[in-house]
Chain A
């Protein structure tokens, strides 16, 4: 059973009808049913592509959070070989909201990092819905330092609602852990590429997203605070989340205009969750292209380019 978002209702109805007709039809039925199925299918796909070519920022937020959207694990399986996750921050614990380690990307030795939201109740709890605690960010910083020392390009896949707000997280220095992770990411002498594959939630995202090249999937969102959070603080009304999403300019298309991201990865019609394989393949091509554009730079040049890029953000709007 495919799960539909509220705004996909027209498509859902058409696709339900197609299914119904298919179930009813048998091989000896006339051509008419097959024709009708074909006609409806075309109509559904037309409606879908119409819908997805003009998603509102709030609709994109919902797509970015779609439970069937491919997550870190799906990307890792599709993009990497020899993936060897590393664990623990060597200080306190292991946090599976962030996964990372060594891998090969199209044959090349790399380090990878990413938020994992999980896809079943059990895995969602295990990965804390992709909301990392300080240990996650300290593990990330550890992996960045390894990437730096061994000159391994770093690929980050960003997908988090934000860093976890809790007593333990605060007690163990959530803010400091995020700051150090950002610091390590910006100090990397190896080239890095970050891709926002779903939600880029504030400081929890930025901690692993300050890369030489920052890409976003077509329907991903990246923001300073969730639309709900902004609505509750600025409008004092969480029902205003749609307004907040629109006003905050959180879509890949807006961020490309601001120069905050360097490129957009096209998603299959109907979003990455309709055809995860295609979405992952397109992401792989975009990463390969980004890494190729950084090839041949020495550690100093890589650092300088990254610093200059971030310092320039916002200076020429």
Chain B
């Protein structure tokens, strides 16, 4: 807390009536400590200009920066049973869920949308780490399934921006069942021969990595993203050793053959478009300007 945040914060809260209002006008780079003005950060797609550190991005910002002209249609997601286990730990799960919904304005961790990417119709799902750690419960699982099935029905590529701490433990076995459920939907997409592209963002671990986030036809990651099955703390506790530098980071996974590429956020749109267009045999995008929308779509 500095004097700026103390004085200015209540005011911004009022006139910037949007979610994810920055705690501060200035955002600190977690890597270098560099301070960046929040508007500059937003304009730079939440990449710290000096260090290149990729900050977390809201699903809405992600969708806007992925689709042509920031335009997309959100796909309605099926309702699921809330709190099937009537779970409580130190607090009731249902209260935690309500808090997350209030905080993010979203129903759960995954949003799905359709729209154009360099004039090619695509279906995109975004997982929000800000919603209970992006945890995979019934709602998120159903959203991923719906996304894949939408892509299969519309015959479009499916792009998954994954981010998750893993399964939503408060939904017990029913959260674990989202691993096979999403895998079934991937198989359905494969049958109609549409591409499935995974973009791993920081962090993606646990049951999400051990299911749909590692089954892409093409595996992309943002730089520096933490990606793994077991979290670093669990491994440290098990083997009682300090983990090597860069362990489980995107670059490490790339070197170990687990990723096709590590792509800077500024090049993401272009990269996804190029790959999708080749995979569905659409003509290439000219260096400047966009192609008209394909007639068949």
Given the complex, which residues of B lie within 8 Å of A235, measured CB to CB? 89-90
Q: Is the Cβ of A173 less than 8 Å from the Cβ of B256? A: yes
B269 to A: closest C-beta gap in Å? 26
Given the complex, which residues of B lie within 8 Å of A230, measured CB to CB? 89, 169
- Residues 154-193 of B, flagged 1 when their CB comes within 8 A of A and 0 if not, give 0000000000000101111111110111011111100000
For A183, give its contact among B187, B230, B244 (CB under 8 Å). B187
For B177, give its contact among A166, A173, A186, A310 (CB under 8 Å). A310
B3 to A: closest C-beta gap in Å? 34
Given the complex, which residues of A lie within 8 Å of B257, measured CB to CB? 173
CA distance A180 to B169 in the complex (A): 23
CA distance A233 to B87 in the complex (A): 14
B285 to A: closest C-beta gap in Å? 31
Q: Is the Cβ of A202 less than 8 Å from the Cβ of B90? A: no
Q: Is the Cβ of B258 less than 8 Å from the Cβ of A314? A: no
CA distance A186 to B177 in the complex (A): 13
Q: Is the Cβ of A260 less than 8 Å from the Cβ of B181? A: no
Q: Is the Cβ of B173 less than 8 Å from the Cβ of A222? A: yes
Q: Is the Cβ of B214 less than 8 Å from the Cβ of A313? A: no
Contact of A23 with B by CB under 8 A:
no
Per the 8 Å Cβ criterion, residues 207-251 of A in contact with B are 207, 210, 222-225, 230, 233-235, 240, 243-244, 247-250
Given the complex, which residues of A lie within 8 Å of B279, measured CB to CB? none
Q: Is the Cβ of B229 less than 8 Å from the Cβ of A178? A: yes
For B235, give its contact among A166, A222, A224, A248 (CB under 8 Å). A166
Q: Is the Cβ of A311 less than 8 Å from the Cβ of B172? A: no
CA distance A170 to B227 in the complex (A): 9
- Residues 159-181 of A, flagged 1 when their CB comes within 8 A of B and 0 if not, give 00001011101111111101110
Contact of A192 with B by CB under 8 A:
no
Contact of A124 with B by CB under 8 A:
no
Q: Is the Cβ of A182 less than 8 Å from the Cβ of B85? A: no
Q: Is the Cβ of B89 less than 8 Å from the Cβ of A247? A: yes
Contact of A206 with B by CB under 8 A:
yes
B162 to A: closest C-beta gap in Å? 11
Q: A222-B173, A250-B172, A313-B174 are in contact. Are A175 and B229 (CB under 8 A)?
A: yes
Contact of A272 with B by CB under 8 A:
no
B56 to A: closest C-beta gap in Å? 21
CA distance A173 to B213 in the complex (A): 12
Contact of A112 with B by CB under 8 A:
no
- Residues 191-226 of B, flagged 1 when their CB comes within 8 A of A and 0 if not, give 000000000000001110111111100000000000
B78 to A: closest C-beta gap in Å? 8
Given the complex, which residues of A lie within 8 Å of B207, measured CB to CB? 202-203, 224
A296 to B: closest C-beta gap in Å? 23
Q: Which chain B residue shows the least CB distance to A207?
A: B210
Q: A170-B230, A179-B210, A247-B88 are in contact. Are A223 and B172 (CB under 8 A)?
A: yes
Q: Which chain A residue shows the least CB distance to B81?
A: A317
Q: A234-B169, A310-B181 are in contact. Are A167 and B235 (CB under 8 A)?
A: yes
B149 to A: closest C-beta gap in Å? 9
Q: A167-B244, A175-B214 are in contact. Are A233 and B173 (CB under 8 A)?
A: no
Q: Which chain A residue shows the least CB distance to B181?
A: A310
Q: Is the Cβ of B84 less than 8 Å from the Cβ of A174? A: no
Contact of A83 with B by CB under 8 A:
no
CA distance A222 to B174 in the complex (A): 11
Q: A165-B230, A178-B229, A182-B183 are in contact. Are A223 and B81 (CB under 8 A)?
A: no
Per the 8 Å Cβ criterion, residues 84-136 of B in contact with A are 84-85, 87-90
Q: Is the Cβ of B85 less than 8 Å from the Cβ of A166? A: no
Q: Identify the interface centre among B173, B179, B206: most chain A CB within 10 Å of its CB.
A: B173
B174 to A: closest C-beta gap in Å? 5
Contact of B37 with A by CB under 8 A:
no
CA distance A111 to B42 in the complex (A): 55
Contact of A18 with B by CB under 8 A:
no
Contact of B43 with A by CB under 8 A:
no
Given the complex, which residues of A lie within 8 Å of B234, measured CB to CB? 165
Contact of B147 with A by CB under 8 A:
no
Q: A225-B167, A250-B173, A314-B80 are in contact. Are A169 and B184 (CB under 8 A)?
A: no
Given the complex, which residues of A lie within 8 Å of B183, measured CB to CB? 179, 182-183, 186, 210
5 smallest CB-CB distances across A and B, nearest first, come from A165-B230, A175-B209, A234-B89, A175-B229, A174-B229
Instruction: List 8 other contacts, CB 8 Å, given A167-B239, A182-B210.
Output: A167-B241, A169-B229, A174-B228, A178-B229, A224-B175, A248-B172, A310-B180, A317-B84
14 contacts between A and B (CB under 8 A): A163-B229, A172-B256, A174-B228, A175-B213, A179-B179, A179-B215, A180-B214, A247-B85, A247-B87, A248-B85, A248-B172, A258-B174, A307-B187, A310-B181
